[in-house]
Structure 1
Amino acid sequence: MAKIETGTQSRQGEKGKPVLYVLVAAVILAVVAGAGVLTWQGSVSPSDHASQSTEAARATATNPTTAPAGQKPN
């Protein structure tokens, strides 16, 4: 005789280790991909603006008549 199930029971997926393996593998791949993106972005990003501002301020302080690079003199 056929097993009688409700509509909700017939739509449920199986639980167990195969589902857990897929979820764990997906999380690990997401972490690896995120680390790869952050590493790549760090290697191709320009220098920070703070060090550029410090260098421009020092150049202006040592020779106030010369405007920093990229700026017009007043």
Structure 2
Amino acid sequence: MPEQLPTDAARQGQRGQPVLIVLLASLAVLAVALVGLVSWQGANSPKDYASLSQEAARHTAVSPTTPPNPAPAPKPQ
């Protein structure tokens, strides 16, 4: 007949620190990845939409003292 082990002893893994080392290493890799993502995202992000819409409104607005744009000159052939 096989040896009977108590349930607590049967569920326990080996004693030591390999799991802790793997956990800490994975958290360190996660932290490096998050820092890289945040810095890359901040460098490539466009301006906020409010400033873009104000900028577009400034370009399309025509003041009353500004004469209308003349017709473009024909291109020489």
Give CA deviations for 1:1-26 in whole Å, capped at 9, x if unaligned.
xx852244223223433222221111
Structure 2 CA distance for partners of 1:15 and 1:45, relative to 1, 3 Å: farther
CA distance in 2, matches of 1:20, 1:38: 27
State the structure with bigger RCO (CA 8 A, min sep 6), 1 or 2: 1
The alignment's TM-score, normalised by the length of structure 2, stands at 0.55
Number of matched residues? 62
| Larger Rg computed on CA atoms | 2
Deviations 1:20-56 (A, max 9, x none): 2221111111111111122222223333212211212
Q: Does 1:49 align with 2:49?
A: yes
Report the counterpart of residue 29 of structure 1 in structure 2. Answer: 29
In structure 2, relative to structure 1, the CA distance for the partners of 1:15 and 1:42 (3 Å cut) is: farther
Higher helix share: 1
Task: State the AA in 2 paired with 1:33.
Answer: A
- Residue segments in structure 2 that go unaligned for 5+ positions in a row: 65-77
CA-atom RMSD in angstroms: 2.7
Gaps of 5+ in 1: 66-74
Relative distance call for 1:59 and 1:5 in structure 2 (3 A) is same
